[in-house]
A and B are shown apart, each in its own frame.
Chain A
Amino acid sequence: MAPMNSGAIQVKGEVLDVQRAGKYFVMSVTAPGLAELTQPGQFVTVSMGGEESSMILRRSFAIQRVQSRGMYGGTLEFVVSPVGKGTHWLTKLRRHDPLDLVGPLGKPFSLPTKAVSCVLVGGGYGSAPLIMLAESLRDRGCRVDTIIGASTEMKLYGELELKRVSTSLTLTTEDGTAGIQGRTTDALVTILDSAQVDVVYACGPMPMLASVAEESTARKVFSQCSVEESMACGIGVCMTCVLPVIGDDGVTRMLRSCVDGPVFRGDRVRWSDVGTIPDGALGKEVARS
Chain B
Amino acid sequence: MTGAVIVTGKSAGVADDSSFDFTTNVGSLELNTPILTASGCAAAGRELDNYFDITAIGGIVTKSIMLAPRSGRATPRMAETPSGMLNSIGLQGPGVESFIENDLAWLQQRGARTIVSIAGGSADEFGKVAAKLRVAGGFDAIEVNISCPNVEDRGQVFACNAEAAAQVIQTVRRNSDNRIPIFAKLSPDVTDIVEIAASVAQAGANGVSVINTLLGMVIDTNSMRPALAGVTGGLSGPAIRPVAVRCIWQIRSALPDLPIIGMGGVRSGHDALEMVLAGANAVSVGTSIFNDPSAPMRIQNELEQELRSRGFSKFSQAVSYAHRDVDHTFQIAASTDVANHADEDWDFISE
Which of the listed residues A55, A56, A288 has the most CB atoms from chain B within 10 Å of its own CB?
Answer: A56
Given contacts A237-B48, A238-B40, A238-B41, 8 further A-B contacts (CB under 8 A): A54-B238, A56-B80, A56-B267, A230-B76, A232-B78, A242-B72, A283-B68, A283-B94
The answer, yes or no, to whether B74 is at the interface (CB within 8 Å) is: yes
Q: How far, in angstroms, from A54 to B241 measured CA to CA in the complex? A: 13
Question: B290–A233 contact, CB under 8 A?
Answer: yes
Query: In the complex the two chains form, is A10's CB within 8 Å of B51's CB?
Result: yes
Query: In the complex, what residues of A have CB within 8 A of residue B84's CB?
Result: 56
In this assembly, does B53 line the interface, its C-beta being within 8 Å of a C-beta of chain A?
no
In whole angstroms, what is the CA distance A184 to B238 when docked? 43
Residues of B whose CB lies within 8 Å of any CB of A are: 40-43, 46-51, 63, 68-78, 80, 82-85, 87, 89, 92-95, 102, 151, 229, 237-238, 267, 287-294
* Cβ contacts A to B, 23 pairs, < 8 Å: A4-B47, A5-B47, A54-B238, A57-B85, A57-B290, A58-B290, A58-B291, A230-B75, A230-B77, A232-B87, A235-B48, A238-B43, A238-B290, A239-B72, A240-B78, A241-B75, A242-B92, A274-B75, A277-B71, A282-B69, A283-B93, A285-B71, A288-B151
**Which chain A residues in 261-289 approach chain B with CB under 8 Å?**
274-277, 281-285, 288
**Chain B residues near A3 (CB, 8 Å)?**
46-47, 49-50
Q: Give Cα distance in the complex from A238 to B76, angstroms.
A: 13
A6 nearest in chain B by CB position: B50
Measured CB to CB, the nearest residue on chain A to B93 is: A283
CB-based contact B293/A242 at 8 Å: no
* Chain B nearest CB, measured from A252 CB (Å): 9
| Min CB gap B325→A, angstroms | 30
The answer to whether the Cβ of A76 comes within 8 Å of any Cβ in the partner chain is: no
Which residues in window 236-254 of A have CB below 8 A to B?
Answer: 236-243, 253-254
Closest 10 CB pairs of A and B: A283-B69, A283-B71, A283-B70, A233-B290, A240-B78, A237-B43, A236-B47, A54-B83, A240-B77, A284-B71
Given contacts A230-B78, A285-B70, contact A56 B291 (CB under 8 A): yes
Which residues of B have CB within 8 Å of A253? 71
